[in-house]
Amino acid sequence: MTAPAKAPGARRPRHGTPLGRAVGRLLDDKWTGAAGLAVALLAPFVIATPYALSVMTSAAIFVMLASGLNIVVGFCGLLDLGYVAFYAVGAYTSGVLATRLDLPLWATVPAVVAVTALAGVVIGAPTLRLRSDYLAIVTLGFGEIIRITANNLEITGGPSGIYGIPGLTGSPVVFYYITVAVVALAVVGASRLGRSRLGRAWRFVREDEDAAEAMGVHTYRVKLAAYVAGAVWGGLAGVLFAAQVSAISPGSFTFLSSALVLMAVVLGGMGSSPGVVIGAVVVSLLPEVLRDFADHRFLLFGVLLIVVMLLRPQGLWPHRSREAGP
């Protein structure tokens, strides 16, 4: 492709080297998602030890968490540092209903959606009017409130949590496929939401809230929508988690987990669906691969967060806008 003659000051949009452009075109193709799904579907045929299956199932659930947080942080630019709270709300709601009322786990899903959406509104409604940094710390506090509450209430089983949650199926392989199907739907759903009219409003709010408001975007409502959507995604991931481990306790829902999900989103590229999926897979599999470094991995994560922000603030696989070139 020859560059058209332009005025000296005009710059062509930068997309890196020709090779990079070619790779980028390949990756941007809609077949990337299908390829990723195929890898996930074929993985059990390659290794199907119980350990590998459980690691892969956890990774899939983590992908779902990351794509939910991506709606909030990546699309809308609201930093949520207590995202795991919604995961906890989902897992606990489902666990409590399933064990107390003897419901099958899938029957608790409507209740989980309702409760997590409500939690999203409860925390979002008063705080989304505030500046982003206040929101960050309030969500952090909210995460702690949920964890401490779960630790102290009787219905949530206190520090020992809830056990004996019925699984969705008896077979880990079937459960893995169910998880992959749900997660794939969730990722596609998040990605389509991101490209919808609402998604464009989210990006607009992220880029310039004042301008968005001046152009007639109801920023408060739009932000709340992002928040509630993220909450529901997190809650559904919580149901999967409860089904996978069958015992949940407050120890699973610490600030550390919130930070890891954030790490996945930032590393992959905020606002980029394929990037976030890759980021989540990397963040969840890395500790398994680097077992020897287990003690230092959070130090590594912290340093990595800083380095990514300094060197590649858009993440490893940034979002490429389809809308308009410069």
Give the residues lining the site for another protein (CB under 8 A): 73, 77, 79, 81, 123, 126-127, 129-134, 136-138, 140-142, 144-145, 148-149, 151-152, 210, 213, 220, 255, 259, 262, 266, 270, 295-296, 298-299, 301-306, 309-310, 313
Angle between helices 255-268 and 297-311 (to 10 degrees): 40
Distance of alpha carbon 18 from alpha carbon 146, whole angstroms:
49
Nearer to another protein, 243 or 308 (CB): 308
Nearer to another protein, 185 or 294 (CB): 294
Q: How far is the CB of 194 from another protein (least distance, A)?
A: 17
Q: How far is the CB of 29 from another protein (least distance, A)?
A: 29
Q: How far is the CB of 297 from another protein (least distance, A)?
A: 8
Q: How far is the CB of 85 from another protein (least distance, A)?
A: 11
Nearer to another protein, 44 or 141 (CB): 141
The sign of the dihedral angle between the CA atoms of 116, 117, 120, 125 is: negative
Q: How far is the CB of 130 from another protein (least distance, A)?
A: 6
Q: How far is the CB of 270 from another protein (least distance, A)?
A: 8
Contacts of 5 (CB under 8 A, 6+ apart): none
The number of CA neighbours under 13 Å toward the Cβ of 43 is: 20
Nearer to another protein, 183 or 280 (CB): 280
Amino acid letter, 227 = Y
Contact 89, 208 (CB under 8 A): no
Distance of alpha carbon 70 from alpha carbon 76, whole angstroms:
8
Contacts of 195 (CB under 8 A, 6+ apart): 322
The sign of the dihedral angle between the CA atoms of 55, 270, 122, 134 is: positive
Angle between helices 132-152 and 109-127 (to 10 degrees): 130
Nearer to another protein, 73 or 89 (CB): 73
The number of CA neighbours under 13 Å toward the Cβ of 75 is: 29
Nearer to another protein, 232 or 266 (CB): 266
Count of other CB atoms within 10 angstroms of residue 253: 28
Element (H, E) at 204: helix 197-207
Q: How far is the CB of 3 from another protein (least distance, A)?
A: 30
Nearer to another protein, 47 or 303 (CB): 303
163: phi then psi, degrees, rounded to nearest 5: -130, 170
